[in-house]
Chains A and B, each alone.
Chain A
Amino acid sequence: MFSLYIKQAWRQLGENRLLTFISIVGTALAIAMIMAMVLAQRVTVEPYAPESNRDRLLYVKWMSVKFSGGGNSNGPIGTRTIKEIFNQMQTPEIVGVYGVQTTSVLVAVPGGELTNVDCRAVDDKFFKAMDYTFVHGAPFNAGESEAGQSRVVVTETVARQLYGTTDVVGRQIEISLKEYTVVGVVKDVSKLTDVAYAQIWVPYNSTILIESDWASHVMGMFSVLLLARDKSDFPAIRAEFDQLCLKYNELLKSEEMDVFFRGQPDTKIVSNNRLGANYTPNMSRIYWQFAIVVALLLLVPAINLSGLTLSRMRKRYPEIGVRRAFGAKRSEMLAQILTESLLLTIIGGAVGLLLSYVGLFTLGTMLFGNLNNNTLSMAMLFDPMVFVIAFLFCLFLNLLSAGVPAWRAARLNIVHALNA
């Protein structure tokens, strides 16, 4: 029966080319806009290499200190706080420490030209929390990290730029006027994975960052990652974290300081919206804004399409009247009309999804707020979930746009319909 509806609907498409065209373009635009938003959002939240563990990670980007004498200090985390809180944690599988931002550093190979690359200071556990693809070698180990030995992991591009080849494990490189030995080479990292991103990684103990603490080493230059064994451990991790904070503040009382974390550890989506150290993101407001924009993008075309569907329906009133007179049920009429319009919606939805991909590839920089190095992962975009979401939006849009006309047509008085 449904195949009959589809067949009939297919015929109808050719009937009024302009209206068909308008319906498809309207649907396609709506789906394209929504899917572009959804995809852009997913790229910043969903796990994919090298941030394959995003769904198991909690982030502590910044901290705050309240001084009894008055005033607050907000900023990255210091080595003493790392030692007293984060190194004490038992619940997470891994606690990784990394420099709060990448810094542009001076690099050269012996006798080569000087250039600047983006460097991230990390510890060995940071690599375990991430999922870099090592082309050669391995990350520096715990001993090297702890001792701040001059070991470095570089990307393929940097290796090629400096040595003309990627197999450079064991070679020497000068970073910030200091000799380092390359221990690993990884595939290039997109700036979309903002925590993983850098061009070279060095043990933070080998950098000047450990000398940049302030407020008695409570504050400093670091951020922390907490990798849970499972998402369900998040509450336990938070509880342990709060407990350790209380203990730490006992210790700091004599120094007239009180540290607090403004709701951290964060999940990825909250962390993305934590734009400053002195600020707590209002997530419900952010979700509402997103929902309002999506609703607007659905509602405006839905009203549009409703008008069109209604016009088309009116022409078919006699047909509906005849079918009803011969015993078709109202529910059947409703199902038929909705199925017919679903065909249009699906065609429009497919075109729209295609458009959103084209848009993402051509306007990628625009949508993702990054300068370059925005390699979008194919697996990310062609994830089955994306199609499911797109289809659900189509169904919803169809219900919104054809619901009222179908309801009206189905409830039509048979005599009136035949007379129309």
Chain B
Amino acid sequence: MIRILFKQIWNERKTNTWLWAELLLVFVALWVVVDWTYVNVHTWVQPLGFDIEDTYLVQISVKTADNPTFRPDGERMTGQDAVDIVERLRREPEVEAVGYGLNAFPYNGSNSFSQLAQDSVRWSVHVRNVSPDFFRIFRYENIDGSGYQSLVEALEEDKLIVSENLWPERYPDGKNLLGQGFYVGGDTTQLYSVAAVTRQVRYDDFSIGDTYFLRLFPESNLASLPASQMSFIEFYLRVKAGTPAGYAKRLLRESPRINVGNCYIESVRSFDDIRESYMLGRINALKNRVFIMAFLLVNIFLGVIGTFWYRTQQRRGELGLRMALGSSRRQLYNNLIGEGLLLLGLSALPALLICFNIGYADLVGAWQMEWGGSRFVIGTSLTLLLMALMIIGAIAYPASQAMKTQPADALHDE
């Protein structure tokens, strides 16, 4: 059977070469897109490790010095006004928790890094200085399964809360990290001990879990900040579940009642908005790839249907003869489909070699997943499946047309 198919393909080698070349090219191009998409979608569906539903970013600004109600820093620092605003926000009926921090919120373009050291090993990781309520707002999860409440309680001065993937070589899966001591930022006089370990938190929907530690941002530190340093501090809040949408607008309207001294609420944005604008470029990149994937598939469809349409027309005589000699219509149909798939197989062999090398050289640009056997198998299987479906779809129509031929007609033409 397969020998006959080979023979057929060989006999039609002139048109088949075109098709074979196209399938080869498309296979490689499609595989690159499929592999990238697979890695990104696979990353996308993993748990984020935080929760932004019902959360808002509140920007607190400081009045300019020429404002008549501006109070120069002295006895009372501008930071104290911010502390008071946080207190007032906490008393708002719809608010569940209010926190503040430094380069800590999700979908944040700005980062702080700091050095961690243990024994003689040093390396740099994200550092997030936050108030304890940070965990009540973004709901990081404790690795021991106790949720976020235990993290709120664990965040104390001279303590660290770290991610489970902080140092996988020494502490695989974050085991035994609890209670370990680390030096922070090159200072070897004070040892910080790990008070809790969180489940992985991803930087954004397309990133894998990043490595970080969290440290307490004490309220007394905030209270002692001068006006000039306030713009670096970020404030966030979570409203109670079921609070109607549009809280940002309502809070802004109420803000004159909440503002204190030098500080005022400048803007309020929901984290859904922040996420949307942060992710836009990445999501567009994904959509563009899906477009190119669709384009390649449609082209396979067109190329295959065109070639096979012409071929079945030309081979009417042969098909009629076969039917006359007892071949069933089903067999003829299968033969044609088999030819298409065999051609796919023939182009897939060199394509696989090329794809493997592209993946091995890391040219796909999907950095979230290590290159390896399983990724190759999944990517190529998906590509093969997609292409096979297109080929079967494209041959089905000309093949069914050919099957309807009456043997007598076909032979008569001959």
Contacts and interface: CB of A to CB of B under 8 A. Distances in A.
B307 A106 contact: no
A310 interface: yes
Interface string B76-113: 00000000000000000000000000000000000000
Contacts of A293: 292
A241 B303 CA distance: 55
Contacts of B256: 114
B264 A304 contact: no
From B66, B280, B296, B306, residue with most partner A Cβ within 10 Å:
B306
A361 to B, nearest CB: 16
A307 B18 contact: yes
B269 A300 contact: no
A371 B307 contact: no
B59 A104 contact: yes
B64 A208 contact: yes
A307 B25 contact: no
B370 interface: no
Given A29-B295, A300-B25, A369-B281, A19 B306 contact: yes
A45 to B, nearest CB: 17
B206 to A, nearest CB: 15
A142 interface: no
A307 B29 contact: no
A105 interface: yes
B267 interface: yes
Given A104-B59, A303-B18, A113 B264 contact: no
Contact of A300 (B59, B67, B281, B296): B296
B252 A116 contact: yes
Contacts of A171: none
A212 B231 CA distance: 9
Question: Which of under 10, 10 to 19, 20 to 34, or 35 or more describes the interface residues of B?
Answer: 35 or more
Nearest to A148: B66
Given A29-B298, A106-B264, A177-B67, A369 B280 contact: yes
A304 B302 contact: yes
A307 B302 CA distance: 11
A105 B106 CA distance: 22
Contacts of B306: 18-19, 22, 304, 307-308, 311
Contact of A208 (B18, B231, B276, B305): B231
Nearest to A104: B267
Contacts of B309: 18-19
B254 to A, nearest CB: 9
Contact of A307 (B67, B249, B252, B307): B307
B22 A311 contact: no
A114 B22 CA distance: 60
A115 B302 CA distance: 54
A104 B231 CA distance: 13
Interface string B332-351: 00000000000000000000
B380 to A, nearest CB: 19
Contact of A371 (B252, B276, B296, B298): B276
B267 A22 contact: no
Contact of A176 (B18, B61, B307): B61
B295 A33 contact: yes
B201 interface: no
A246 interface: no
B265 interface: yes
Contacts of A208: 61-62, 64, 231
Chain A interface secondary structure, helix, strand, loop or mixed?
A: helix
From B18, B255, B298, residue with most partner A Cβ within 10 Å:
B18
Contacts of A388: none
A211 B305 CA distance: 68
Interface string B17-43: 011011001100100000000000000
Given A304-B303, A311-B307, A178 B64 contact: yes
Interface in A323-378: 366-367, 369-371
Interface string A293-312: 10011011101101110110
Interface residues of A, number: 40
A179 to B, nearest CB: 10
A307 B307 CA distance: 7
Contacts of A29: 295, 298-299
A25 interface: yes
Contact of A178 (B67, B295, B298, B302): B67
Nearest to A368: B284
Given A310-B18, A311-B15, A369 B284 contact: yes
Contacts of A300: 22, 25-26, 29, 296, 299
Interface string A1-24: 000000000000000001100100
A293 B365 CA distance: 15
B277 interface: yes
B295 A297 contact: yes
From A106, A297, A370, residue with most partner B Cβ within 10 Å:
A106
B29 to A, nearest CB: 5
A116 B267 contact: yes
Contacts of B305: 18, 22
Contacts of B64: 176, 178, 206-208, 211
A29 B291 CA distance: 11
Contact of B25 (A22, A207, A299): A299
A99 interface: no
A304 B295 CA distance: 13
B264 A177 contact: yes
A169 to B, nearest CB: 24
Contact of A366 (B65, B267, B277, B284): B284
Contacts of A113: 253
Nearest to B22: A303
B402 to A, nearest CB: 14
Interface string B252-294: 1101100000001111110000001100110010011001100
Interface string A114-126: 1110000000000
Contacts of A26: 299, 302-303
A203 to B, nearest CB: 12
- Going nearest first, the 10 A-B pairs with the smallest beta carbon separation are A307-B18, A304-B303, A104-B267, A311-B310, A303-B22, A116-B267, A308-B306, A22-B306, A369-B284, A22-B302
18 contacts: A19-B309, A22-B302, A25-B302, A26-B303, A106-B252, A106-B255, A106-B266, A115-B252, A211-B228, A297-B292, A297-B295, A304-B22, A306-B18, A307-B19, A307-B303, A311-B15, A371-B276, A371-B277
Given A106-B267, A371-B280, 15 more contacts: A18-B305, A19-B306, A19-B309, A26-B302, A29-B298, A29-B299, A114-B252, A115-B249, A116-B266, A303-B303, A304-B303, A307-B18, A307-B306, A367-B284, A371-B276
Interface of B: 14-15, 18-19, 21-22, 25-26, 29, 59, 61-67, 228, 231, 249, 252-253, 255-256, 264-269, 276-277, 280-281, 284, 287-288, 291-292, 295-296, 298-299, 302-303, 305-307, 309-310
